[in-house]
Amino acid sequence: MTEGRDSISGILARAAKSPHALSRSELATLLAVDDEARLGELFDAAYALKVKYCGRRVAMRGLVEAGNVCAKDCLYCGIRKSNGKVERYQLDADEIVRLAELDARQGYASLVIQSGEMESEAHTRFIEDVLRRIAPLDLGVTLSLGEQAEDVYRRWKDAGAARYLLRIETSNPELYARLHPAAHSWERRVECLRALRRCGYQVGTGVMCGLPGQTLDDLARDIEFFAEMDVDMIGMGPYIPHPDTPLGADRHGAGDLLLGLKMIAVTRLHLHDVNIAAATALQALAPDGRERGIRAGANVIMPNITDTRYRRRYQLYAGKPCLDENAGLCKGCLERRLASIGETVDYGRRGDSLHFRKRTGVAE
């Protein structure tokens, strides 16, 4: 056995014993692992923790892409305001309620409503109305609607939302500044995460992995950021270039699937009891990308239940999967895929973050 192998095994053993056990350079060392045998060790250690905290079950949240109208102009995102090629849409309240009912019938028990970013009283009221109408379904509702005033977050919480996902995108403010127009503020995003916490949400954040100019030290720092912010949920995935964006225009080729999987594994090893989603971007890079995400330590999948006629218009990156597959087909396909790795779908349970339940004492 080589010296390197010994030290990787030692780091993994220490990480498995207790959360927050690793230094930044150890996190970066794990992210740099690239030979088959060590990768196997890394993923096995992370998966063992996933099984310890979450069992061999995967929590599901039906994903509704409620609209692609966006006030933001992120340089990497396919639905950025300045992308004139996108046909814009917004589902009406009846359509979102119908999808929430479908989600409940599928037995998923949790729902994610995501859209481009809008800040207006009309939009705030619209979401409040939707939340009140779906409340009788008793779903665990996650919102992913970007930066908002604290008062808006509170109103949506009061109307029935339980969780909020707002990716920091990168914990490095300088890298953030290179990926966004000057008017977008990294500090505001951090302040929004704090506001969400004050409002009582299960708070989720995450990053894109493999961004141009991003280093392994940046990614290790991202994991430390998750720990410092004491978040309950992580949603992250590989950056995938989109041809109609300033960042993706002259960069062809796929995102870095392996790096995305390693980030999941190292995050599980450092944080232990949080919910980690196997993002759709993993599946865009390999048909079995999400199952590999689960084997690397993730415990949540968000199958898209948006009507197929809208899916093409919500393309954040090139190669989005399941553009023509309705929710029923996705469900059967997912069950089979998870069975192939010895996992089952956790039907009928909301799958609240264990970390959140421990820190608040709230029972599921």
Where do contacts with ligand SAM occur on this chain (CB under 6 A)? 76-77, 79, 114, 116-117, 144, 146, 166-167, 169, 208, 237, 239-240, 242, 281, 316-317
Measured from the CB atom, is 8 or 199 closer to ligand SAM?
199
Residue type, 184: H
Task: Determine the residue type at 48.
Answer: A
Which residue, 22 or 143, has its beta carbon nearer to ligand SAM? 143
**Pairwise CA distance, residues 25 & 11, whole Å:** 11
Smallest gap, in angstroms, from Cβ of residue 280 to ligand SAM?
Answer: 9
Residue 4 or residue 243: which is nearer to ligand SAM going by CB? 243
Alpha-carbon distance of 364 to 354, in angstroms, equals 9
Element (H, E) at 158: helix 150-158
> With respect to ligand SAM, which residue has the nearer C-beta, 114 or 214?
114
Closer residue to ligand SAM, CB minimum distance, 91 or 316: 316
Nearest partner of 198 among 265, 250, 245, 151, judged by Cα: 151
Q: Helix (H, G, I), strand (E, B), or coil: what is residue 132?
A: helix
Q: Which residues contact 120 (CB under 8 A, 6 or more apart)?
A: none
| Residue 31 CB, nearest approach to ligand SAM (Å) | 18
Question: What is the radius of gyration, based on Cα positions, of the chain?
Answer: 19
Nearest distance from C-beta of residue 240 to ligand SAM, angstroms: 4
Tell me the backbone φ, ψ of residue 237, rounded to 5 degrees. -165, 175
CA distance 317 to 121: 30
* 216-228 helix and 257-271 helix, angle to the nearest 10 degrees: 40
CB of 289 to ligand SAM, least distance (A): 13
Residue with Cβ nearer ligand SAM (38 or 80): 80
How many angstroms separate the CA atoms of 263 and 269, rounded? Answer: 10
**Beta strands 110-115; 208-209: pairing state:** unpaired
Q: What is the closest distance, in whole angstroms, from the C-beta atom of residue 10 to ligand SAM in the complex?
A: 33
Q: Provide, rounded to whole angstroms, the least separation between the CB of residue 79 and ligand SAM.
A: 6
Closer Cβ to ligand SAM, 232 or 346, answer by number: 232
- Say how far apart CA 98 and CA 90 lie, in whole Å: 14
State the nearest-atom distance from the C-beta of 214 to ligand SAM, in Å.
12
Task: Indicate the pairing of strand 300-301 with strand 62-67.
Answer: unpaired
Q: Which amino acid is at 147?
A: E
With tokens 């503020």, the residue in question is 185
Q: Assign 359 to helix, strand or coil.
A: helix
Q: E-assigned strands of 129-274?
A: 140-144, 163-165, 202-205, 208-209, 233-238
* CB-nearer residue toward ligand SAM: 116 or 140: 116
Q: How far is the CB of 111 from ligand SAM (least distance, A)?
A: 15
Least gap, CB of 208 to ligand SAM (angstroms): 5
Closest to ligand SAM by CB, 144 vs 283, is 144
